[in-house]
């Protein structure tokens, strides 16, 4: 068997699902936890958010407890059944859907918030809890999440941990390697790895939980997470600004970091083409128009007048010296939400144009926009658009190129040029979305052969039969590897 979409990929030597296997799963789970109706139940689990990767799984298992996950994995390991772990299925690299007939293990029924401690700020959550639900619960205790992203209405905390999701607040709170204090993971052989630490500090040997953060379902199934949350800010300001050059963008970022200091919570870039796409495709209104660059700045603090004073004095400098030409400050949370939509809904808007060639790269900040410009020159009028936006404050560019439909000529103009470009700058070919299936062949552009060798050894150690998310992350191994 080969995959229809990926003709060069060969199905691994895994067992085909039999009635005996199904009988086992039905004996340990209730009826609504075992989905087999291909037409009515399975299609959503087999296709990714971008609708660019499609698997043909015949079975979705929906455990409710860590012990159920353990029983499933133990059986699959012995029976040599491949598994595709799935959270909210919002991943952008094809990691969350099966490639062939892997059994989908969905965490969606494990959605409980187990405890929230307002004093320490630690929340313990089942992995399948949707991020937005967790946010709502945290707000009741005056706490806030250390991460936020456009997919929060669907993505799950376990999926966020498995991808080490970044998002729009990483600048302020860092990534999940810092915010996840502990987790429980079920290993491929069914063993339960209890690393559910809730202490801020714990240097008792190797910090094994870190391996699961960003492992994209290849080392274990994350079932519970202990998350360090933050005090909910009582004062939030959102500003949206137009700028005439990328030099001015960099100067605005530099001074924002310096002058806003600890209250700066987001520093995002949107270029003209991205804004045009989101406003036309989704009929959103931008308060300012016709600038080559836009920046969205957010502050979050605990003292409204202090925060306003800081932002106003920054803006006075930037406007007086001509760095910022025009802009607006949200007067209430509804306006702030509208401004955020102009940034957070760009992916959705791009998808409306047809086929999207998506690149998520880390590059040195001075070169941040150069890749978009070089790519535009290279592609001429082949694509509908070539745009750049993203987490400027973290040096993470989202380069997106669209065409009406998949065009191999266009793809060959983009790749491997884009990866060579990033590699030359010693950037990362996947800053926050991971490698999954779609980016797995480009790992070597950001990691040395020695590093890849040791990653493979870690994978082999944790999952010797390769049942957990096979075909993902690692490039196909050649006989000389």
**Residue recorded with tokens 């052969």:** 449
Record the tokens describing residue 372, joined without a space.
Answer: 């978009």
Q: Indicate which single residue of 64, 172, 310, 358 sits in contact with ligand 2HG (rule: CB under 6 A).
A: 358
Number of Cβ within 10 Å of residue 319's Cβ equals 14
Per rule CB under 6 A, is residue 469 in the interface with ligand FAD?
Answer: yes
- CA–CA dist 121, 347 (Å, integer): 32
- CA–CA dist 306, 263 (Å, integer): 10
Residue 320 Cβ vs ligand FAD, minimum distance, rounded to whole Å: 33
Q: Which residues pair with 86 in a beta bridge?
A: 106
- Do the Cβ atoms of 329 and 299 come closer than 8 Å? no
Query: How many residues at the interface with ligand 2HG, by CB under 6 A?
Result: 8
Query: How many residues at the interface with ligand FAD, by CB under 6 A?
Result: 37
Residue 282 Cβ vs ligand FAD, minimum distance, rounded to whole Å: 12
Q: 152: alpha, beta or left, given left = phi > 0 and alpha = psi -120 to 50?
A: alpha
Residue 203 Cβ vs ligand FAD, minimum distance, rounded to whole Å: 25
Residue 141 Cβ vs ligand 2HG, minimum distance, rounded to whole Å: 27
Per rule CB under 6 A, is residue 127 in the interface with ligand FAD?
Answer: yes
Q: Which residues pair with 113 in a beta bridge?
A: 125
- CB contact set of 382 (below 8 Å; sequence gap of 6+): 403, 407, 409, 410, 413
- CA–CA dist 108, 98 (Å, integer): 16
Question: Which uninterrupted H or E stretch holds 162?
Answer: helix 157-163
Nearer to ligand 2HG, 169 or 209 (CB): 169
- CA–CA dist 349, 282 (Å, integer): 6
Closest-CB residue for ligand 2HG?
Answer: 347
- CA–CA dist 281, 346 (Å, integer): 9
Number of H helices and E strands in the chain, helices first, is 17, 18
Binding marks (x or -) toward ligand FAD, 48..67, rule CB under 6 A?
Answer: -x------------------
Binding marks (x or -) toward ligand FAD, 13..52, rule CB under 6 A?
Answer: ------------------------------------x---
Residue 354 Cβ vs ligand FAD, minimum distance, rounded to whole Å: 17
Per rule CB under 6 A, is residue 150 in the interface with ligand 2HG?
Answer: yes
Per rule CB under 6 A, is residue 432 in the interface with ligand FAD?
Answer: yes
Nearer to ligand 2HG, 152 or 459 (CB): 152
Q: Which does 222 bind (CB under 5 to 8 A by kind): ligand FAD, ligand 2HG, none?
A: ligand FAD
Q: How far apart are the first and last CA of the chain?
A: 24
Q: How far is CA 203 from the centre of its chain?
A: 28
Please classify residue 167 by burial: count the beta carbons closer than 10 Å to its beta carbon, then call 0-12 exposed, 13-18 middle and 19+ buried.
buried
Q: Which does 127 bind (CB under 5 to 8 A by kind): ligand 2HG, ligand FAD, none?
A: ligand FAD
Per rule CB under 6 A, is residue 310 in the interface with ligand 2HG?
Answer: no
Q: Which does 109 bind (CB under 5 to 8 A by kind): ligand 2HG, ligand FAD, none?
A: none
Record the tokens describing residue 237, joined without a space.
Answer: 């300001």
Applying CB under 6 A, which part among 154-162, 190-198, 238-246, 293-301 lies near ligand FAD? Answer: 154-162
Applying CB under 6 A, which part among 4-12, 144-152, 313-321, 414-422 lies near ligand FAD? Answer: 144-152
User: Where in 363-456 does DSSP place strands (E)?
Assistant: 385-391, 396-403
**Residue recorded with tokens 């949206």:** 240
Per rule CB under 6 A, is residue 88 in the interface with ligand FAD?
Answer: yes
User: 113: closest CA among 147, 89, 136?
Assistant: 136
Residues in 183-242 that interact with ligand FAD by CB under 6 A: 216-217, 221-222
- CA–CA dist 433, 167 (Å, integer): 10
Per rule CB under 6 A, is residue 400 in the interface with ligand FAD?
Answer: no
Nearer to ligand 2HG, 398 or 459 (CB): 398
Q: Which does 398 bind (CB under 5 to 8 A by kind): ligand FAD, ligand 2HG, none?
A: ligand 2HG
Cis preceding-peptide flag for 74 (omega within 30 of 0):
no
Q: Indicate which single residue of 256, 347, 403, 466 sits in contact with ligand 2HG (rule: CB under 6 A).
A: 347
Residues that bind ligand 2HG (CB under 6 A): 92, 150, 347, 358, 360, 390, 398, 400
Residues that bind ligand FAD (CB under 6 A): 49, 85-92, 95-96, 107, 127, 149-151, 155-156, 158-160, 162-163, 165-167, 216-217, 221-222, 347-348, 432-433, 436, 469, 472
């Amino acid at each position: 068997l080969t995959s229809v979409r990926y003709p060069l990929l060969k199905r691994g030597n895994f067992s085909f699902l039999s009635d005996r296997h199904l009988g086992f799963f039905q004996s340990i789970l209730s009826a609504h936890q075992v989905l087999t109706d291909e037409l009515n139940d399975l299609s959503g689990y087999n296709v990714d958010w971008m609708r660019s990767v499609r698997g043909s799984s015949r079975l979705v298992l929906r455990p409710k407890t860590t012990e159920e996950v353990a029983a499933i994995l133990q059986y699959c390991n012995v029976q040599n059944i491949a598994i595709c772990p799935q959270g909210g299925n919002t991943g952008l690299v094809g990691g969350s859907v099966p490639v062939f007939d892997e059994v989908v293990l969905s965490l969606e029924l494990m959605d409980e918030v187990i405890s929230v401690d307002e004093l320490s700020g630690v929340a313990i959550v089942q992995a399948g809890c949707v991020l937005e639900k967790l946010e709502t619960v945290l707000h009741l205790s005056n706490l806030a999440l250390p991460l936020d992203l456009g997919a929060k209405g669907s993505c799950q905390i376990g999926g966020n941990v498995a991808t080490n999701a970044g998002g729009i607040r990483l600048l302020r709170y860092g990534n999940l390697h810092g915010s996840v204090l502990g987790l429980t993971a079920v290993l491929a052989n069914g063993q339960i790895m209890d690393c559910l630490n809730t202490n801020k500090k714990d240097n008792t040997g190797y910090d094994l939980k870190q391996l699961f953060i960003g492992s994209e379902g290849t080392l274990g199934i994350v079932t519970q997470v202990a998350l360090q949350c933050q005090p909910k800010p009582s004062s939030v300001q959102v500003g949206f600004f137009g700028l005439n050059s990328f030099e001015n963008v960099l100067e605005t970022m530099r001074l924002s970091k310096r002058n806003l200091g600890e209250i700066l919570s987001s520093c995002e870039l949107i270029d003209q083409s991205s804004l045009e796409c989101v406003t036309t495709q989704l009929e959103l209104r931008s308060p300012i128009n016709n600038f080559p660059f836009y920046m969205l700045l957010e502050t979050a603090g605990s003292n409204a007048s202090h925060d306003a004073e800081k932002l106003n004095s920054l803006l006075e400098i930037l406007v007086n010296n001509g760095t910022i030409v025009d802009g607006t400050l949200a007067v209430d949370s509804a306006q702030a939400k509208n401004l955020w939509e102009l940034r957070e809904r760009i992916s959705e808007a791009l998808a409306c144009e047809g086929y999207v060639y998506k690149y998520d790269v880390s590059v040195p900040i001075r070169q941040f926009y150069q890749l978009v410009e070089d790519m535009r020159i290279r592609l001429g009028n082949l694509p509908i658009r070539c745009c750049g936006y993203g987490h400027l404050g973290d040096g993470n560019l989202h380069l997106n190129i669209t065409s009406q439909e998949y065009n191999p000529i266009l793809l060959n103009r983009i790749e491997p040029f884009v990866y060579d470009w990033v590699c030359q700058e010693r950037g990362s070919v996947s800053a926050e979305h991971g490698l999954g299936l779609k980016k797995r062949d480009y790992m070597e552009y950001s990691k040395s052969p020695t590093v890849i060798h040791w990653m493979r050894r870690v994978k082999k150690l944790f999952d010797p039969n390769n049942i957990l998310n096979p075909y993902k992350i690692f490039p196909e191994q050649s006989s000389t590897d």
